[in-house]
């Protein structure tokens, strides 16, 4: 009798699995062979979807503050029906948080930008004086060694001649190209401003319908994956939300506090370029480990040309500030740990920073925390299934095998 064909046959499922594996392998091979084209395609998609990306990031950052207003501040708002009351609370919370965000951004821009421009103009105007001071110091330092002095001055003179020749030939010859690039740069800045404005609109839409988007994402995950795998994926996404949310929020608040304290201390000590340096310190403080050094070193060198005394005061102030921040301020803001040691944090910063630049520096630690947590749970599940201990301390000093576990149980 002829067997009836069924799609649930093991052979059919194995064949489909094999074809899927081959197809994935081909896609990976083609992607690796044409990596530059794939990278260009991804870059183009990111540029096209940048307003949506800005909106999603803004919505994610404003989600928790909006929850606070919706559940605490406007919780007593009533309506004809529970649905209308909830809608009123949502709209009031969304309107309030957007007004606060736009007000804070506008205030920060109106206060910081003019002072930063003033600091930069002062720096540019004093560059010739700084150069003369550096040259005099160099000549004085090398005066006891004429041969070395001649070599250094010759190198400086060669650099000056090359710069002059470049200005006369290359710069003038490429004047049209430079003007075109500047024009494109201005257009790019205007385009980014438009993208940010559109991002605000996207954020408003996402925040007002966040439950619907969350339900659709959950529905898609359960449609693609098996129930157990879907539940594991949702747990991973929940941990990712916790890791990114706690890490980004805490580091933004910490950097803001560090920048404000740095500005107040520099103002009290009458140190120049207070706004410019404080903004630099606050931005670079977003990067763990290397951030304070990245911001402090060029700032100290700038102040050294202005006044060695001011530079020394600034260095002492930054050392004290970073100690207070690392031991008091940041631990109180962070509250909960991501479960990573200092080595893995450094590893995550170097890896993701090298791959994705500043975004990698900022998000590398929480993303790696998710990967680390997933591997940890996977290893624990596999060890438990084999009847082995999942505690790391049990593996120090000797190797535990299944036979030793069996022998211990028999004893």
Q: What is the pLDDT of residues 211-227, one digit of tens each?
A: 888 888 888 888 888 88
Residue 71 burial (C-beta neighbours within 10 Å; 0-12, 13-18, 19+) = exposed
Q: Dihedral angle at the C-alpha atoms of 224, 227, 229, 233, nearest 10 degrees?
A: 80
Nearest to 275 by CA among 311, 248, 299, 305: 299
Assign 13 a pLDDT band (cuts: 50, 70, 90). Answer: low
Structural contact between residues 347 and 371, judged by C-beta atoms closer than 8 angstroms: no
pLDDT of residue 4 exceeding 60, the answer is no
In this structure, what token pair is assigned to residue 168? 């006369």
pTM, entire model: 0.65
Assign 310 a pLDDT band (cuts: 50, 70, 90). Answer: confident
Nearest to 334 by CA among 292, 366, 299, 377: 366
Assign 1 a pLDDT band (cuts: 50, 70, 90). Answer: very low
Q: What is the pLDDT of residues 312-367, one digit of tens each?
A: 888 898 888 888 877 777 767 665 556 677 677 778 878 887 777 767 777 777 78
Assign 10 a pLDDT band (cuts: 50, 70, 90). Answer: low
Structural contact between residues 370 and 239, judged by C-beta atoms closer than 8 angstroms: yes
The 10 Å CB-count burial string (b at 16+, else e) for 162-174 is eeeeeeeeeeeee
The most confident of 56-70, 144-158, 182-196, 329-343, by mean pLDDT: 56-70
- pLDDT, mean over the chain: 76
Strand, helix or coil for residue 172:
helix
Assign 77 a pLDDT band (cuts: 50, 70, 90). Answer: confident
Average pLDDT over residues 180-192: 65
Q: How many CA atoms lie within 13 A of 243 on its CB side?
A: 22
Cα–Cα distance between 409 and 411 in angstroms, integer?
A: 5
pLDDT at 236: 79
pLDDT at 175: 57
Q: What percent of the chain has pLDDT over 90?
A: 0
Cα–Cα distance between 376 and 362 in angstroms, integer?
A: 23
Q: What is the pLDDT of residues 150-161, one digit of tens each?
A: 776 677 667 666
pLDDT at 335: 53
Q: What is the pLDDT of residues 233-272, one digit of tens each?
A: 888 788 778 777 777 777 888 888 888 888 899 889 888 8
Q: What is the pLDDT of residues 116-149, one digit of tens each?
A: 777 777 777 777 777 777 777 766 766 666 666 6
């Amino acid at each position: 009798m002829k067997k009836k064909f069924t799609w649930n046959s093991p052979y059919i499922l194995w064949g489909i699995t094999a074809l899927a594996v081959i197809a994935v392998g081909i896609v990976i091979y083609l992607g690796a062979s044409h990596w530059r084209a794939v990278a260009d395609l991804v870059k183009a998609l990111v540029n096209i979807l940048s307003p949506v990306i800005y909106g999603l990031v803004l919505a994610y950052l404003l989600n928790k503050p909006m929850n606070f207003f919706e559940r605490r501040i406007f919780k007593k708002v009533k309506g004809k029906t529970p649905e209308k009351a909830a809608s009123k609370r949502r709209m009031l919370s969304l309107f309030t948080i957007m007004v606060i965000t736009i007000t804070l951004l506008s205030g920060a821009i109106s206060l910081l930008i003019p002072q930063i421009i003033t600091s930069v103009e002062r720096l540019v105007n004093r560059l010739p004086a700084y150069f003369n001071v550096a040259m005099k110091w160099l000549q004085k330092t090398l005066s006891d060694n004429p041969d070395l002095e001649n070599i250094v001055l010759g190198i400086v003179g060669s650099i000056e001649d090359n710069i002059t020749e470049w200005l006369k030939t290359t710069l003038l010859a490429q004047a049209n190209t430079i003007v075109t690039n500047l024009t494109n740069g201005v257009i790019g800045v205007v385009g980014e401003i438009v993208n940010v404005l559109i991002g605000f609109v996207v954020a408003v839409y996402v925040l007002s319908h966040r439950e619907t988007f969350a339900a659709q994402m959950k529905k898609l995950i359960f449609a693609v994956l098996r129930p157990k795998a879907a539940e594991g994926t949702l747990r991973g996404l929940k941990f990712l939300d916790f890791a990114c949310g706690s890490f980004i929020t805490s580091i933004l608040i910490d950097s803001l506090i560090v920048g404000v304290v740095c500005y107040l201390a520099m103002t009290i000590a009458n140190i120049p370029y207070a706004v410019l340096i404080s903004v630099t310190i606050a931005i670079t403080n977003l990067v763990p480990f290397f951030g304070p050094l990245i911001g402090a070193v060029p700032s100290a060198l700038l102040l050294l040309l202005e006044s060695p005394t001011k530079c020394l005061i600034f260095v002492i102030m930054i050392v004290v500030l970073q100690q207070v921040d690392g031991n008091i301020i940041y631990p109180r803001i962070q509250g909960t740990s991501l479960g990573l040691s200092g080595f893995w944090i450094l590893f995550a910063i170097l890896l993701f920073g090298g791959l994705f630049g500043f975004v990698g520096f900022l998000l590398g630690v929480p993303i790696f925390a998710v990967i680390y947590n997933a591997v940890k749970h996977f290893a624990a599940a596999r060890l438990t299934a084999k009847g082995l201990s999942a505690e790391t301390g049990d593996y120090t000093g000797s190797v535990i095998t299944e036979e030793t576990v069996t022998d211990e149980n028999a004893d």
